[in-house]
Structures are given as structure tokens and as C-alpha cells.
Amino acid sequence: MLWGSNARETHPIFFHHLLKGLRNGAELYVIDPRRTSSAQWATLWLGLDVGSDISLANAVAREIIAAGLHDEKFIRHATSGFDAYKAHVEKYTLERAERETGVPAAAIRKMAHAYAKAPRAQLCWTLGITEHHNAVDNVVALINLTILTGHVGRYGSGVNPLRGQNNVQGGGDMGAIPDRFPGFQHVENDEIRAKYEKAWGVKIQPKRGWHLSDMFEAMEHGALTTLYVLGENPADSEADRHRTLKRLTGLEFMVVQDLFYTKTAELADVVLPAAAGAFENEGTVTSSERRVQRVRRTVASPDGVRDDLDIIFDLACRLGHNWGAPDPETIWNEVRSLSPMHGGMSYRRLEELGGIQWPCYDESHPGEMFLHGRFWSDPLIGPRAPFSVVEFEPPVDQLDEQYPIRLTTGRKLDDYNTGVQTEKFASPLRREVALEVSPEDGLHYALLEGERVRVTSRRGSVVAPVKFDAALRPGLAFLSVHAHDQVSTNDLTIDAVDPRSGTSEFKATAIRIEKLQPV
């Protein structure tokens, strides 16, 4: 199941593996508001309304339970909270879900049965699930399905959030989240904190920090006045751009460390030119399958441009901490000494094995191709997997007569995020950024392909050419996020933030479309 993912375009080489499975007889269910190029390969496409995922997931669960297809033995052995969950999803009948999601009841039923009956099943998702105000609820609604059917912790079965950036997994693994040290060790655990304090010779504050959206909130209230931005372009990438720019320009001091003079760098007090990580630095990144892999210097950096490590070490020195000469392998070995799940990943082994999937506790450990195998151990090892009771909540930016069209956003095959890297190569696929609408809406608003229209949300307004896309259902429009100098998509989007993940609801904006010239 690909839920809220257009992997054909956003993870093309992963999709090659998926296609091999299809050629070998596997079934593919794609749950996406758009009939994407991934959906075109599907056994069944479930074109749900944006943000109705929980209603769909709960109805799938109800159907599985009603048909007796849940894995009772696994549920008893390894989960908790099933009775409350069962009572909760009872309300999500196929008819209700059809009403709330727009997906025909028969299609929901077919997917539910196929998923529950499959000997092995993977549930993959991407930002279609997580770029919502209730992102974590969406995720646990899907996790519920995997523990309901026992499709977790077994070869060929599992949950698989496809990571969208080459080291977004590694960033989290290395502690670039507000409450964790490397290896997901919690900062609010005294023993773990003591371990790091001893190794680093400093006192570490016992409370978690802020995630990105917390920081932007704090800028609003003047609680955050200095910002150091490394390799991020929030001036273009944050939702509700007008508000973002106001917050960034209100800072007392901002440093931007980047390859290019981005929109964010233009606002900075100091810009530190950085080397291109994947091509000019030594180190490691961690892929979507938790595989730690080596990146290597392939060419020298241009003059005046420095490795991120050099910059950070130099900065530390100026702040009174001499860390010595920066050496990626020495730093990595420190990570290994403090993060148990990286313990066995020496540079030598990473080289020999072509990367290792964490956890890898010691040098005799092969790494682990999937997680959660402990749920199948008898007796059970560790805590149970809890069912979560989550309720369907529509997107924050609601449709009404003034804003009747649902705008969703996403990536194109040949571009990447705010386009800072990809705009530098001449892609023959690249077209002018356009507001993609269904042919039916084109007819309704009497639009011509290529005609420039005004697109307005409750936060902002942009002008964009129109492109028809039969993959969109009436009432649904799409904009890519790659070229804010052409169409500033994030002028429209809403920064309704999921309180737990800190992710904004990029996927659901209410807009209206107006012709620039009257007919």
C-alpha cells in the first residue's frame, strides 16, 4: 500500500523494486487524492479527499474486524488497547467513510480484505500523511492497521515511511530532533544525559528543545531572536510565507550556512559559504531503509567555500572550545561509542558491506533488515504496541463558498524542494510552474490552458498559469513547491501545525480561482 506517496516520481529507484514485485504478481493499492503516475500502476486507486485519511483507515480497520480478518493471536500477544480501538472504529462504517473520503465503499472493502489476507504486506507513506495538522494521528491510524493484521516485524511486512531527503533519517538518528541524543536516546533520561555529559565534559540542559515550528512561534513572540540556519531555505519552504518572512526579518541576528545565496541567505546578517555535502565532504548519511552509507569527497570545493565540519569546529573555537582538527571518522567513532545502535558501524565495515542498516550494536552484528521482530518473540520482549484511538478531523483550512477549491502541493520528478540545487541543471521535463486543475473545473471556470489566473487563499494571493490534469478530480488543484520565484506556493499555504511533529498542513489549502480578464 502506498498511502499519500507518489513514489514513482519522488522515490524513482525504490519504485523500480516495487515494479519488480508487481511483475512477480504483487498487488499495489495507492491511496492518494491525485491519480498520480504511481496510481497508474495500482491494482486499485483510492482517490480520497485531502485530509480524510483517518476516516479511511478506521473504516478499513472496522471492515477487517467485521470480516474476522484481524490477527487475534498477534493482537493478544503483542498489543494493547484493542477493545477500546474496536469499539471506536465501529462508528466508521463503509458508508460513513464513503461520505467522508469520497472513496466508494466497495473499493475500501476490497483494499481492507486484500491487505488483511495478504501473506506479506508493506504499508508505505510519505508527506501525504505527514503534512497535516494531525500528522501524528494520521501515522498512528496507519500503524493501527499493521498491528491489527500482524503485518509488522516480519520479513516482507511492515510500515515504511519513505524518507524524502538523502539524510533526513540520519539527521534524526544523530539527534537533530529536540528531545533526542544520537541513536534516539531521550534527553530527559538522567542516565543517558549523564553518559553524554561525561563524554562531552559539559552540563546538558535536562529539558527538550524546540522543533522548527516551535522556533518560528518563538520568533513571533520575541522568545527567539537569533537563528543559525544550516542548509535550509525556510524563506521559501515554510508554510504561510508572508508570516515566515515577517518572523525572519524580525530577528536580531541570523546566520545562514549554505551552498547558495538563497532567499533565506538574502535576509541573513552573516552568510557562510558551505561545501556540497554529497560531493565535497567525507562522512555518512542514512537512507530510508536505515542504511548508514559513506559519502565521499569526489571533487574539491571551490575557493572560499568550506566543509560544514570546518565551519562548526572553527565556530566552536571562537566560542572558547577547542575541539582540535575536524576529522569525520573520529567524530563518527565518538557517535559509535555513545549511541548503542551505531556501535558496530566502523568505517571499515561500512565500506566492506556497502552500508549497514541500524541497529548494529557491535562489530559482529550484521545490521537489521527490518525492525520490531521482538513482537513475535515468545515470551514478548519489551513493551506492547498500543492501538491508538484517533478521530477523523478535516483540514484546518476549510472549504466554503469563498474558497471552494482544495489546493494540495507536492514534488515533481526532476525538481527538489525549493529548487536551489535542481534549478542548476537543464531538465527537458521542466515546465513553467502552473496551477494544475481538473478539466471539469477548467470548464466550470471557463479557463484556457496556459491562461493566467489569480489564486487566492485566506493568507495570500498569487498569479499562475493554468494546466489541465486529468489525474485531478473536480474540486482539487495542485501546485509544486519548487520555484517560488515563478509561483510562490507558500504564500497560499497554512501553517496549521501538528503539535507533536511540528509539521504544517502543506497538503490542504482552501483557495479560489479567479480569471484575470473577464470573459
The answer to whether residue 365 forms part of the interface with other proteins (CB under 8 A) is: yes
Of the residues 83, 95, 188, 269, which one makes contact with other proteins according to CB under 8 A: 188
The answer to whether residue 136 forms part of the interface with other proteins (CB under 8 A) is: no
Q: What CA–CA distance (Å, rounded) separates 242 from 254?
A: 18
Of the residues 109, 163, 482, 484, which one makes contact with other proteins according to CB under 8 A: 163
Residue numbers 374-413 binding other proteins by CB under 8 A: 374-375, 377, 379-386, 413
Q: What CA–CA distance (Å, rounded) separates 407 from 458?
A: 12
The answer to whether residue 40 forms part of the interface with other proteins (CB under 8 A) is: no
Please, are residues 141 and 393 in contact by the beta-carbon 8 Å criterion? Answer: no
Return left, alpha or beta for 232; rule: phi > 0 is left, psi -120 to 50 is alpha, else beta: beta
In the block, cell 565518538 appears at: 334
- Taking the least distance from each CB to other proteins, the nearer of 109 and 412 is 412
The answer to whether residue 338 forms part of the interface with other proteins (CB under 8 A) is: yes
Of the residues 414, 440, 451, 469, which one makes contact with other proteins according to CB under 8 A: 414
Nearest distance, CB of residue 82 and other proteins, angstroms: 11
Residue numbers 241-280 binding other proteins by CB under 8 A: 259-261, 266, 273, 276-280
CB contact set of 323 (below 8 Å; sequence gap of 6+): 313, 316, 317
Query: What are the grid coordinates assigned to 475, written together?
Result: 474540486
What's the Rg (C-alpha) of the chain?
Answer: 24
- Taking the least distance from each CB to other proteins, the nearer of 95 and 197 is 197
Q: What CA–CA distance (Å, rounded) separates 268 from 232?
A: 13
Angle between helices 241-249 and 212-220 (to 10 degrees): 70
Of the residues 43, 189, 330, 398, which one makes contact with other proteins according to CB under 8 A: 189
The answer to whether residue 295 forms part of the interface with other proteins (CB under 8 A) is: yes
The answer to whether residue 304 forms part of the interface with other proteins (CB under 8 A) is: yes
Q: What CA–CA distance (Å, rounded) separates 491 from 169?
A: 28
Nearest distance, CB of residue 7 and other proteins, angstroms: 9
The answer to whether residue 140 forms part of the interface with other proteins (CB under 8 A) is: no
The answer to whether residue 502 forms part of the interface with other proteins (CB under 8 A) is: no
Of the residues 27, 179, 214, 329, which one makes contact with other proteins according to CB under 8 A: 179
The answer to whether residue 346 forms part of the interface with other proteins (CB under 8 A) is: no
In the block, cell 518572512 appears at: 245
- Taking the least distance from each CB to other proteins, the nearer of 115 and 387 is 387
Nearest distance, CB of residue 214 and other proteins, angstroms: 17
Q: What CA–CA distance (Å, rounded) separates 494 from 516?
A: 24
Q: In what order do the strands lie in the sheet with 283-286?
A: 283-286, 291-295, 356-357
- Taking the least distance from each CB to other proteins, the nearer of 6 and 52 is 6
- Taking the least distance from each CB to other proteins, the nearer of 402 and 427 is 427
CB contact set of 100 (below 8 Å; sequence gap of 6+): 49, 52, 55, 392
- Taking the least distance from each CB to other proteins, the nearer of 104 and 178 is 178
